[in-house]
Amino acid sequence: MQTTHPQAQSQGWALLLWAWLIALVSTIAVLFVGEVMGQEPCVLCWFQRAFMFPLVLVLGVACCVSDMGAWRYALPLAVTGWLIALYHNLLYFGLIPESIKPCGAGPSCSGDDMTILGGVPLPLLSLGVFSLLIILLVLIRRRFNQ
């Protein structure tokens, strides 16, 4: 059932815009940390980036054309990124044994230089961003059910 009420359409566009802005700010932030601050990302961070970066394009185009059906393309990217971020956090907080840690050979996210905002670890921040994106995309899906 498609909602065509102008106010509902406007609210849907606002949700899309928020999702795009969150993905854009997140992408700019990780590029700043990597390229300006010189912090090389670990393997799991790279995988999370692989699912965040396309969201900027998908959600940006969806905003430009007011495509409320874009959740179909964006939600799988966000959920996959969220699953990788969840796994990363389980490793970071020691809930998964270190022996199966896939990024042990390269840079590590466990150092103090990999925190932001007074001690929030980057893996936790990534999980939060993907969670927000999923919430916004599910709201769009429920509202427009396309």
Residue 40 lies in a domain: yes
CATH number of the structural domain spanning residue 83: 1.20.1550.10
Residue 37 lies in a domain: yes
At 137 the pLDDT is 97
At 61 the pLDDT is 96
Q: How many helices (H) and strands (E) does the chain have?
A: 4, 2
pLDDT band at residue 96 under the 50/70/90 scheme:
confident
The mean per-residue pLDDT over the stretch 112-130 comes to 82
Range of the domain at 39: 6-144
pLDDT band at residue 1 under the 50/70/90 scheme:
very low
Residue 109 has pLDDT above 70, yes or no: no
Residue 34 lies in a domain: yes
Distance of CA 75 to the CA centre of its chain: 10
The mean per-residue pLDDT over the stretch 89-97 comes to 86
> What is the pTM assigned to this prediction?
0.86
Residue 92 lies in a domain: yes
The mean per-residue pLDDT over the stretch 127-139 comes to 97
At 3 the pLDDT is 45
Residue 32 has pLDDT above 50, yes or no: yes
- Indicate the number of domains in the chain: 1
Residue 1 lies in a domain: no
Average pLDDT of the chain?
Answer: 85
Residue 81 has pLDDT above 60, yes or no: yes
Q: Which residue has the higher pLDDT, 61 or 118?
A: 61
